[in-house]
């Protein structure tokens, strides 16, 4: 596969990043996952805005968005697939061990993966660990994903594909790599950004297109919600058929099925290619 690394397309087998890259040594990095259909990136400007916000939050230099756009186009052209997800990784770059920052400029990698279409439904578990709604990294899409890896392993132990977190005050927050929506009395609700969740691009579009409300929700809402669904670049809109030991009947339920349809139809139109 051809990837983009520091200014040029390279072969993924031979492309190399320094072993002293701060993305590796201290997790000083950010990323984006961007859906691409027939070689066209979806909602790229929204992703690049979030990449810049994440960079500023971490104190990294602003990414050169012209280069990022060129890199995305080059990787898609070199690896033609009907459906894929671009993975943009941007780190503090090479620097001596123990230094605060890389000293030779940031590292940019753009690769392509994620060619599978999501299953329509999935099982999820809740985990006992909390998301910090007031942390230094809250709302930033950083490569420091170890907490999510641990939670996801818990999900896999229980035959689920996603783990849902509450925040430190017991409110429903988000999944390891997805946002969460619940249906109560026919209305769609999703936790507000103040819950500590990531400002998901899919979340924003689904909320806009379905009129979902931002609502503080206790974690326990998952026991009584009529329907539950997840959103993310990898999952699009995905119905939840089991949460912990609770089976939800007839998934996707009618409201979720409608949200899936609306998302599929509206996202098929070019959103800022």
Binding site for ligand PLP (CB under 6 A): 33, 174, 177-179, 198, 200-203, 231-233
Measured from the CB atom, the residue of 84 and 102 that comes closer to ligand PLP is 84
Measured from the CB atom, the residue of 28 and 174 that comes closer to ligand PLP is 174
Sheet with 107-113, side-by-side order of all strands: 8-11, 2-5, 107-113, 83-91, 29-37, 40-41
Measured from the CB atom, the residue of 201 and 243 that comes closer to ligand PLP is 201
Measured from the CB atom, the residue of 54 and 251 that comes closer to ligand PLP is 54
Measured from the CB atom, the residue of 33 and 132 that comes closer to ligand PLP is 33
Answer whether 63's CB lies under 8 Å from 73's CB. no
Task: Work out how close the CB of 104 gets to ligand PLP at its nearest, in angstroms, rounded to a whole number.
Answer: 28
Task: Give the separation between CA 15 and CA 2, rounded to whole angstroms.
Answer: 9
Task: Work out how close the CB of 64 gets to ligand PLP at its nearest, in angstroms, rounded to a whole number.
Answer: 21
Task: Work out how close the CB of 202 gets to ligand PLP at its nearest, in angstroms, rounded to a whole number.
Answer: 3
Burial status of residue 188 (CB atoms within 10 A of its CB: 0-12, 13-18, 19 or more): buried
Task: Work out how close the CB of 259 gets to ligand PLP at its nearest, in angstroms, rounded to a whole number.
Answer: 14
All residues at 6 or more sequence positions from 110 whose CB lies less than 8 Å from its CB, including other chains: 3, 4, 68, 71, 72, 75, 86, 87, 88, 89
Task: Work out how close the CB of 46 gets to ligand PLP at its nearest, in angstroms, rounded to a whole number.
Answer: 8
């Amino acid at each position: 596969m051809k990837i983009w690394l520091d200014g040029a397309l390279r072969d993924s087998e031979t492309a190399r990043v320094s072993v002293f890259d701060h993305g590796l040594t201290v997790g000083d990095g950010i990323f984006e996952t961007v859906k691409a259909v027939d070689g066209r990136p979806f909602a790229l400007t929204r992703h690049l805005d979030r990449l810049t916000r994440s960079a500023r939050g971490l104190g990294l230099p602003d990414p050169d968005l012209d280069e990022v756009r060129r890199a995305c186009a080059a990787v898609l052209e070199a690896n033609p697939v009907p459906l894929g997800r671009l993975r943009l990784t941007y780190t503090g770059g090479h620097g001596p061990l123990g230094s605060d920052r890389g000293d030779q400029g940031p590292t940019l990698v753009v690769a392509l993966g994620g060619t599978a279409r999501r299953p329509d439904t999935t099982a999820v578990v809740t985990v006992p660990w909390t998301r910090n709604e007031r942390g230094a990294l809250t709302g930033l899409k950083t490569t420091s994903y170890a907490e999510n890896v641990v939670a996801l392993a818990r999900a896999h132990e229980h035959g689920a594909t996603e783990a849902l977190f509450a925040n430190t005050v017991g409110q429903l927050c988000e999944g390891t790599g997805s946002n969460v929506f619940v249906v109560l009395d026919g209305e769609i609700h999703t936790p507000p950004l103040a819950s500590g969740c990531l400002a998901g691009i899919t979340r924003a579009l689904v909320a806009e297109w379905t009129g979902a409300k931002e609502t503080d929700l206790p974690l326990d809402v998952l026991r009584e919600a009529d329907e539950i669904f997840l959103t993310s670049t990898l999952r699009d809109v995905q119905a939840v058929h089991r949460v912990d030991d609770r089976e939800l009947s007839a998934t996707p339920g009618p409201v979720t099925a409608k949200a899936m349809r609306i998302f599929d139809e509206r996202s098929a139109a070019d959103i800022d290619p």
